[in-house]
Amino acid sequence: KTLEVGKDYYLLVSKWYKEWKYYVNFGELWNNEAERPGPIENEELLEEGVEDMVRRTVIEDLDFVIVSEAVWTTLHQWYGGGPTIKRKAIGGKWIGVIVEVRPLQLKVLKSSDMEHPVIAQFSKEDTVRQFLETMCKKMQLEEDKVRVWDFHVGYKIK
């Protein structure tokens, strides 16, 4: 099915999905002795200790498949498990429509507390305004008292 910009899609671990297809005799996969799969086990797709960040080493179709919201909701209701890994489809005239599996992961610091960064994820299509609004809410800051600086390897860029 064709991806639509702005719609939500979900990652599903390939191993579990293949077991499910055997169980329901989906497509050309046929195994009349297949057992009902247990709960969905998406943990292996995520980085340890980082909330909702897909590991860099996982590959679409090999390690995970992308399914629609309707498919995810139905399978999750029937089998349980998780965690839910929801991603948006982005795109435009240059790249076509893709599911943004790995959004930008940014480390955000308050100048008054450089020891405790807040890690946040943003779409490559988000604006600086969206970043500012989201982080001010998350860090309980007033927008008119905030400046955004771009640092790379400890050096201020902008």
**Strand-pair partners of 147:** none
Full-model pTM: 0.79
| CB atoms inside a 10 Å sphere around CB 5 | 13
Burial (CB < 10 A; 0-12, 13-18, 19+), residue 27, is exposed
Q: Mind listing the pLDDT tens digit of every residue in the chain (158 residues)?
A: 688 888 999 999 999 999 998 888 776 656 667 788 999 999 999 998 877 899 999 999 999 999 999 999 999 999 999 999 999 999 866 778 999 999 988 888 888 888 988 888 898 888 889 999 999 999 999 988 888 877 665 655 55
Contact 122, 106 (CB under 8 A): yes
